[in-house]
Structure 1
Amino acid sequence: MLLQERAPIFEDDTASTLGARTDNVAARLLVDAVEKIATGTAPRIPQDPAIATHWPRRRPEDGVIDWNRPSADVVRWIRALTHPYPGAFTHIGGQKLFIWEAVATTAPRGNVPGEILARDDDRLTIATCDGAVAATSFQWADQSNGMTSEGNVIARIRSAS
């Protein structure tokens, strides 16, 4: 490695916001690295394999939401896979539903993870192992415009379940 810098990850970060912040850091570090290489002052920092991260090639099934996880983990998963990435998804009535934004919420104990607990015009609440997640932006896989009308999604969910 030549240079590195830590970038904070905030609780409300998404793949897009974190990517924008780290892109800015990377651009600045690249300019600095080129200058150091040109002047012969570039450091050579060995990478510690114990803290190095490796990310395998993403497969389509990697986006599946595991409702057996705690609500906070599910929300982080959704935030990590949201735009510009392919998205986190679940299946409802045999149809693929992408969830782009969500928040953790409470729910009575004893619900089956993945069970739809509430449906209204702007959110879909789904049980997790320790509560629930309220999806606030979502779309069916066959919607081609990349945007969703939550009311239409809810109507399809009602007919699918």
Structure 2
Amino acid sequence: MNISYGILSSGNLGLQCLKYLHLTQNINFVFTDKKSDGIISFCNDNNIPLFIGNPRGAKSSCFLSNFDTDVILSLNYLFIVEDDIISHANKYSINFHGSCLPKYRGRTPHVWAIINDEKETGITAHKLTEGCDEGDIIYQEKITIAQDITGAELLDIYNERYIIIIQKLINKIEKNTITFIPQDETKATFYGKRTPDDGQINWSWQKERIYNWIRAQAKPYPGAFTYCKNKKIVIHKIQYSDFGYNDSDPNGIVLQTESNIIIKTPNGAICLLDYDFASDEKIVKGEILV
């Protein structure tokens, strides 16, 4: 069956999906953002028609008029799209989202799931609409979140599972067995865009919250951070410590620096295992991180 596809994709996850689809399917065009250099280079190298930038406001109407497209797949795409793109597909317009919808609509759901100490997340293929991750569900699978997994490591699992789910979805499309299940709006949650500046640690949080906050953003992500003497410390990995302290000690105080740096939180101490300190100065006992 000769089905034509339009691909909306961003970032490395979108690139991996695009490479797979290019090998197996007929791709009419690709939409991406200005910062997705890998996708731009891949399309240029393989002569795939490419629209770069935000398509909202019918900016892509002239571009789309050159194509007759059966299915549009949105794979880690940066932008919310409008009906001129959605309705361009003759059969289906489908979005992939990295959560078990309707929970965790919005941006970087895998990071938010770790921050919130979720034990599982997932991937959902759903009908593409003008709303944010609101369309009827076509396929969904769950992914276990290990207690020590980082946000980047969870995204690596997504890289593998997205390809497998694309295969399953294409099989449904070719067999004409696509079905739609409406999302339960009473269970919907939404999380917004995160920036590196959002990563600051609040030392009044419980140690479990701090642990999840750090692993969710660990390298190669920009990292959770704090300040010592107005110098930034980016923390990538910690563990809980049974080091003693006085309840009257302020949260964020450095309890020890001899073998490892140990810091007080409201319900226990934590030990820094991997961090970057943007200073030649040493962190000393008694200093308070903010």
Under TM normalisation by the shorter chain, which class is it? 0.7 to 0.9
Q: Does 1:156 align with 2:251?
A: no
TM-score by length of structure 2 reads: 0.47
* Aligned twin of 1:135: 272
- CA deviation profile, 1:15-73 (whole Å, cap 9, x unmatched): 12222223322221111112212221122122223434433111333100111111111
Q: Quick one: which amino acid aligns to residue 270 of structure 2?
A: V
Q: Across the two proteins, how many residue pairs are aligned to each other? A: 148
Instruction: Please name the residue that 2:168 is paired with.
Output: 32
Q: Tell me the residue number matched to 1:61.
A: 197
Name the aligned partner's letter for residue 39 of structure 1: K
CA distance, structure 2, for counterparts of residue 42 and residue 4 of structure 1? 13
Considering only aligned residues, what root-mean-square deviation do their CA atoms show, in Å?
2.1
* Rg (Cα) greater in structure: 2
Unaligned 5+ residue runs, structure 2? 1-125, 127-137
Partner of 2:159: 23
User: Are the aligned partners of 1:78 and 1:87 in contact in 2 as well (CA < 8 Å)?
Assistant: yes
Q: Aligned ranges for residues 1-161 of structure 1 at < 5 Å? A: 1=126, 2-106=138-242, 107-108=244-245, 109-121=247-259, 123-141=260-278, 156-158=282-284, 161=287
Deviates more, 1:87-96 or 1:27-36: 27-36
Report if the CA contact (8 A) 1:74-1:133 is conserved: no
Tell me: higher relative CO, structure 1 or 2? Use CA pairs within 8 A at least 6 residues apart. 1
Once the 2 structures are TM-superposed, how far is the Cα of residue 103 of structure 1 from its aligned partner? 0.7
Structure (1/2) with the larger helix percentage: 1
What is the TM-score with the length of structure 1 in the denominator? Answer: 0.81
> What is the CA–CA distance in structure 2 between the aligned matches of 1:84 and 1:51, rounded to whole Å?
32
Unaligned runs of 5+ in 1: 143-151
